[in-house]
Chains A and B, each alone.
Chain A
Amino acid sequence: MSILTTQQLVIDVPNRPGGTPLNLTIQPGQVWGVLGPNGAGKTTLLHTLAGLRAPRSGSVHLNEAPLASLRRRQVAQTLGVVFQERMDSFPATVMETALIGRHPFLSAWQRESGADYTLAEQALARLDIASLRERLVNTLSGGERQRVALATVLTQAPAIWLADEPTNHLDLHHQSAVMALMAEQAASGKSVVMCLHDLNLAARWCDQILLLYPDGEAKWGPQERLLTAGTLEALYRQRLMVVEVNGAPVFVPI
């Protein structure tokens, strides 16, 4: 059970005067969706929450301790990041890639144990890529690589997930499967923050929403309050039509 909080946090987006200071509390069990147009700072926010970028002002706290005061290894034992962009300069297999998720838990002299392999194997199976185990990651399709990245974080088994567009490159079935995985993580007492572009996935799977505007303004709160045609039209400057399917709103651009 870990809590991530921000105090008066302003993220550092180049050429932006400032923005709404963020005072967020990300509780175990919550699924947060970060929405906003391109360049609004979703990725920057996620990296700031992970402690990978310094904020312009304010601070991020992990269980009351300022993130900046913690050792990277300690942070990595609690916080997992799914990146939008990945680097595959050197060939590595799917299994090797998933196993690097255990890095924060192993001392310098330790090798991965049978338990670590089991965790990685379960993660690969959960993401439907167990059969790709020995394949080289750079020979996989975009969607398969995305699932390898998710499996790596699942192997890491963090209490807090920070996922940058986790459904990128995924087909419809795997989009749903991945969102179900995120919800399942939250249900087991973890928390999830993800940047999303798909309003309908956000409406279906997220309970908390953070809207980021290009000028740095931000609004956050429960999804019922924020996912309305009015706020979203202003956010994206795009007219939307809302239809209800099984009681949930579905947003269609018009």
Chain B
Amino acid sequence: MRKVAQGSLSAPLGVLVLAALIALLFAVSIGSASLSVAQLWAVAQGQGELLASTLVWELRLPRALSAFAVGGLLAVAGALMQVLLRNPLADPYVLGLSGGASIGALAAMLVGLGGFLVSGAAFVGALFSTLLVFGLAHGRGGWSPARLLLTGVVVASGWGAVITLMLAMSPAERLPGMLYWLMGDLSYARTPWPPLLLLLAVCLLLVPLGRSLNVLARGAPQAAALGVNVRPLEWGIYILASLLTAAAVTTAGSIGFVGLVVPHMLRLLLGNDQRLILPACALAGGTLLVLADTLARTMIAPEQLPVGVITALLGVPTFLFLLHRSR
């Protein structure tokens, strides 16, 4: 079970960095026109044909980096939510975040807005849902993880009903775009830098918090008895995880599954030290989504599949295998 010796973070993280680089290389070289390693090398040095250079620098690399950032954000947000709620079933979407984001995005599409405004509306929707759930869960007498989880689940199913209603009422020509958004679609992604920088910033921010999170995972009283300021830490994690999810959903629509499955796969393989798991989540979540997105745009090219379908198709069997194999 515990294959990692104490204190050695570098070996597993090194493997994951390597995997991420290979996935990115794979993503930029494969597509409607495949590029060889030699062509990629030429492009990287600023030479090569114009077509190849455009493909890499303007189309494939930004999209692959966006996918990496979104996957990383979702996986880190999932790991944080699981610690916050002390519940292994929590994921970034369970608290109604993606529902809120979807309502915002679909409403924007319904009135015919596009591009940046859809993303903006999704972000506003996600934050609105966050505040709603937290406010309702707080109620009288403070919140507990169980109460927050229940409130989130109920609000999420409320959003689900509203989404179905919106789909039922929308004109037929808008439906495909809306459905794609709901299943996650990276072709909406513009510049990869904001989510990528956010991911990097969060990973750095979480380094000094890792041990406190380990203690918090043992429950609030135990954490308080060991010197953790529980309330501020819990608030911080909640706001951070919500922000990460909102950023991810805004970039690529709602992609389920990454936030739930990636942290668990890593816990099964690496144990549960948040100092290792959180950066590992950023790397593995990113890698998974880069691979999924590459498959999504090549499997039935020139048509594209929604990337959320691929993450589920890749993730479910892997996860079940690991779970079955573990004790």
A83 partner residues in chain B, CB cutoff 8 A: 221-222, 225
Q: Which of B134-192 contact A (CB under 8 A)?
A: none
Please tell me if the beta carbons of A72 and B224 are within 8 angstroms of each other in the complex: yes
Query: In the complex, what's the smallest C-beta–C-beta distance from A81 to chain B, in angstroms?
Result: 4
In contact, A87 and B7 (Cβ under 8 angstroms): no
A109 pairs with B208, CB closer than 8 A: yes
Q: Is the CB of A50 within 8 A of B87?
A: no
Given contacts A83-B221, A100-B226, A101-B226, contact A90 B88 (CB under 8 A): yes
Q: Does A172 contact B (CB under 8 A)?
A: no
With both beta carbons as reference points, the residue of chain B lying nearest to A149 in the complex is identified as B222
B144 CB → nearest A CB, Å: 12
Cα(A101)–Cα(B273), bound, Å = 15
* B226: chain A residues within 8 A (beta carbon): 76, 100-101, 103-104, 156
Cβ A89 vs Cβ B88 within 8 A: yes
Complex Cα distance, B217 from A100, in Å, reads: 11
Partner of B272, one of A72, A79, A92: A92
- 1/0 contact trace for A75-90 toward B, CB 8 Å? 1110111010011111
Q: Size of chain B's interface in residues, with CB distance under 8 A?
A: 32
Q: Chain A nearest CB: distance from B89 CB in Å?
A: 10
Closest B residue, CB atoms, query A113? B7
- Which chain A residues (116-141) contact chain B, with CB distance < 8 Å? 117, 134, 136, 139
Contact B86 A89 (CB under 8 A): yes
Assuming the contacts A89-B217, A93-B2, A108-B208, asked whether A103 and B227 have C-beta atoms less than 8 A apart, the reply is: yes
Residue of A nearest to B277 (CB): A90
Residues A86 and B211 in contact, CB atoms below 8 Å apart: no
B208 touches A76 (CB 8 A): no
A91 surroundings in chain B (CB, below 8 A): 1, 267, 271-272
With A87-B86, A89-B87, A91-B267 known as contacts, the answer to whether A75 contacts B227 (CB < 8 A) is yes
Name 25 A/B residue pairs within 8 A (Cβ), A-sorted: A71-B227, A76-B226, A79-B225, A80-B225, A86-B219, A86-B222, A87-B86, A87-B218, A89-B87, A89-B219, A90-B217, A91-B1, A93-B271, A95-B6, A96-B214, A96-B272, A96-B273, A100-B226, A103-B226, A104-B226, A109-B207, A117-B6, A136-B1, A136-B327, A139-B327
Contacts A90-B88, A100-B218, A117-B6 aside, 20 further interface pairs with beta carbons under 8 A come to: A71-B229, A72-B228, A74-B227, A76-B227, A81-B221, A83-B222, A90-B267, A91-B1, A91-B271, A93-B2, A96-B214, A96-B273, A97-B218, A100-B215, A106-B211, A108-B209, A109-B208, A111-B7, A112-B7, A136-B1
> Shortest 6 CB-CB distances between A and B: which pairs?
A76-B227, A108-B208, A87-B219, A73-B227, A104-B227, A81-B225
